[in-house]
Amino acid sequence: MKLSAFILPSDWRDHQNVSVTVGQEHITLLSIKTLPWNSLFQRTKMVGKNAIKLLQKGGKQSEENKVREAK
């Protein structure tokens, strides 16, 4: 399990896509307006006004969890 924290641009809600670089990794969050932000914020911890702590799990388990949560 890896914990990543990054700062989003202050106007991130206005963008369809937001790209961030965390260390060596480049992450693009697609369709930012359609993501379940309330649920995401409840399950993660805000580290500042425009910051999100993102809990990333690798592999198959993560994909299965996404499918389960989407139902």
The predicted model gives 35-46 an average pLDDT of 52
**Residue 12 vs residues 25, 59, 71: alpha-carbon distances, Å:** 19, 28, 27
How do residues 18-38 score in pLDDT, each as one tens digit?
Answer: 666 666 666 666 545 555 555
Range of 16's domain? Answer: 2-70
pLDDT recorded at residue 47: 42
pLDDT recorded at residue 9: 61
pLDDT recorded at residue 1: 44
How do residues 48-60 score in pLDDT, each as one tens digit?
Answer: 334 444 444 444 4
Number of domains in the chain: 1
CA dist 2 and 55 (Å) reads 7
Angle at CA of residue 14, ends 28 and 43, nearest 5°: 60
CA dist 33 and 52 (Å) reads 15
